[in-house]
Amino acid sequence: MMDWGRRNTLTGLATFPLTFTVSQKISAQSVMANIVIIGGGFGGASAAMFLKKISPDLNITLVEPKTSYYACPFSNLLIDGKREITNQKFSYEGLKSRGVNVIHLRAIDVDPVKKTVTLSESQTLSYDKLIISPGIAFQTNAIDGYGELAQKSMPHAWAGGQDIVRLVRRLKNINDGSTVVISVPQAPYRCPPGPYERASLIASYLKQNKPKSKLIILDGKENFSKQALFERAWAELYPNIIEWRSASNDGRVVSVDASKNQVITDFETLNVGLANIIPPQKAGHIAEVAGLVDITGWCPINPVDFSSTLQNDIYVIGDATIAAPMPKSAFSAAVHAKICAIQILRNLKGLEPQPTILSNTCYSFIAPERAVSITGVYSNSGKAIQSVPGAGGTTPLTATVLEKTAEAYQANIWFQSMTHNAFGSI
Amino acid sequence: MMSSKIGPIILGAVLTLILLNACQRQAVPRADMPLLTDTSLSKGALLSVSCNNCHAKTGLGIPNYSNHSAKRIKKYLTFYKTDTNGTSVMHRMARGLSDEEIALIAGYLEASK
Ligand SMILES: Cc1cc2nc3c(=O)[nH]c(=O)nc-3n(C[C@H](O)[C@H](O)[C@H](O)COP(=O)(O)OP(=O)(O)OC[C@H]3O[C@@H](n4cnc5c(N)ncnc54)[C@H](O)[C@@H]3O)c2cc1C
């Protein structure tokens, strides 16, 4: 029998006692329950770590096919060449050593009625509560020609892993005088300011190494996050390198031809040295399989506790959720994770869900050692998450180089804190 | 001369550094303590979930509130909330909190030391 089989309640075997009275017999404070988490990214790993910390007796199983997690935040800094892919890599040993059962298999099915999850080697896990944090999937058919071949030669590098290394290698191989294209999908998508951070760092590389080259951002939208701050930085630091085209200014990518290195918009065919095509997105596939997505392709949730509005005893956190105006960020995913964890425990103890204040801050690098940020503060006391008036905002447009350097420093601490909280490493 | 905009940021940074030094002097290494008490499921706990996204106990130099009293935390959050010229991340966040919420966060962070 596999190791995990002993520690997890398999289908057909008795589940752990759940009710308040039974758990009280064991310990006045502890709650016994089987919690299964699908997805060991920022959402799922943070949830597992946090649950284990506040309630060590819980039986927590994390299902994640990969044995290493490569974080997206800070991955754009690899473009500069000073940051290594190893700085993005996190293992699950920290979670295992704290008593989380980590199973490196893929969840392929969820039965919300029997409350079971089927794994890729056809084992079945049963749960009292299921948390799903599967991240995103790509609508690759939204862009004609963006099949498997094109995904390799025009990588999105938007789903973690080592794709970013391939993108950087390709960037290094372009000739001076080439055109680089970044295509940005329509909202909602993972990390709203991310494409513009990437553009800034590519422009920084081009300016130093391929100064005759150009970078065109083809955008599926009319405006973007921290736009004034980015545009100011581009004008100051990378004059005449970046051209941004909004959707109504022929920014929409209709198709690509990978064999000819062409990106095609409504009115133009661009011959490119490198294309970074970031396709439109939807919730990770398992969310669809579990019946958790609505017509938008994303998962509706009750904002107070992140429980699915479509299935009982299943909670969705992170990028897969409909949690706007909170952006799809690692910061948000960790906030969802911790709120969801507390509310699940409240529920198991027979307490009502309790509304709270949520927040998000996204730092973006405008140059290798300078960052700007955007903060949002939200309330989840209503039917949908809402911004708290008078709070939040961005780095001021008038911020000095010193302040932007300080924000880059804060961003570093943020990354270290976030990964420590999720994976137990520093 | 310091501009009126960055004055408060520098003040905030200096204040937090003073606090940091103070707590480094008395720092005692603590294991991650099991916390399933009513406190860990309280409104204060829910309001505090964002804090350690940046202020985790990694010991890497971010102002760390782990040894601060509730009184001190309340004082700083109130400073950020009421300092109208401030533009730092902490200013932007604290403006979304009521005085009562600040008190709950301060109480929780002290209790969860
Ligand atoms: C270039 C870039 C820069 C970014 N920068 C920032 C930043 O500075 N700040 C910030 O806050 N955010 C940033 N983000 C966004 C951040 O990466 C995501 O918001 C965050 O990873 C979301 O967490 P998640 O748990 O929802 O998804 P993920 O972190 O993607 O985790 C999902 C996990 O689920 C697993 N999974 C999927 N399906 C299954 C299945 N069927 N069974 C088991 N496991 C499964 C996957 O393998 C994966 O490990 C950035 C993103 C990009 C692309």
Q: Do B50 and A375 touch (CB under 8 A)?
A: no
Question: How remote is the CA of residue A159 from the centroid of ligand 1, in Å?
Answer: 7
Give the tens place of pLDDT for each residue, A134-160. Answer: 999 999 889 999 998 999 999 999 999
**Per-residue confidence at A27, pLDDT binned at 50, 70, 90?**
very low
CA A253, CA A269: separation in Å to the nearest integer?
Answer: 10
CA A73, CA A191: separation in Å to the nearest integer?
Answer: 9
B2 — contact with chain A (CB < 8 Å)? Answer: no
> In Å, how far is B18's CA from the nearest CA of chain A?
18
Give residue A160's region: left, alpha or beta (phi > 0; psi -120 to 50): left
Place of tokens 């494409």: A195
Q: Do A29 and B37 touch (CB under 8 A)?
A: yes
Minimum Cα–Cα distance from B53: chain A residue: A418
Per-residue pLDDT, A19? 31
Three-class DSSP category at A263: strand
- Which residues from chain A sit within 8 angstroms of residue B49, using beta carbons? 334-335, 338-339, 342, 356, 358
Per-residue pLDDT, A31? 76
Per-residue pLDDT, A30? 66
Mean of pLDDT values over B48-65: 82
Give the tens place of pLDDT for each residue, A77-91. Answer: 999 998 999 999 999
Per-residue pLDDT, B60? 65
Q: Identify whether the C-beta of residue A423 lies closer than 8 Å to the C-beta of residue A330.
A: no
Per-residue pLDDT, A167? 98
Cα–Cα distance list, A278 to A73, A120, A218, A366 (Å): 16, 28, 10, 19
* H or E element that contains A257: strand A253-257
Task: Report phi then psi at A27, rounded to 5.
Answer: -160, 145
Any ligand 1 atom below 6 A from CB of A226? no
B41 — contact with chain A (CB < 8 Å)? Answer: yes
Cα–Cα distance list, B35 to A30, A34, A325, A420 (Å): 10, 19, 31, 18
Per-residue pLDDT, A29? 55
Out of B5, B41, B49, the one facing A345 most closely (by C-beta) is B41
CATH of B32-111, one of 3.40.50.620, 2.40.50.100, 1.10.760.10, 1.10.357.10: 1.10.760.10
- Which tokens hold the place of B104? 């709950």
Any ligand 1 atom below 6 A from CB of A306? no
Which residues, at least 6 apart from A384, have a Cβ–Cβ distance to it below 8 Å? A303
Q: Do A416 and B5 touch (CB under 8 A)?
A: no
Per-residue pLDDT, A257? 98
- Which tokens hold the place of A157? 């590098």
Q: Which residue has the higher pLDDT, A204 or B64?
A: A204
**Per-residue confidence at B61, pLDDT binned at 50, 70, 90?**
low
Question: How remote is the CA of residue A41 from the centroid of ligand 1, in Å?
Answer: 5
For the cut 50, the answer to whether the pLDDT of residue A305 exceeds it is yes
- Which residues from chain A sit within 8 angstroms of residue B43, using beta carbons? 354, 356
Per-residue pLDDT, B63? 72
Provide the residue type at A360 as one letter: N
Question: How remote is the CA of residue A138 from the centroid of ligand 1, in Å?
Answer: 13
Mean of pLDDT values over A405-417: 95
Annotated domain spans of chain B = 32-111
Place of tokens 């927590």: A60
Q: Identify whether the C-beta of residue B86 lies closer than 8 Å to the C-beta of residue B94.
A: no
Beta pairing class for A129-132 and A314-316? parallel
Any ligand 1 atom below 6 A from CB of A73? yes
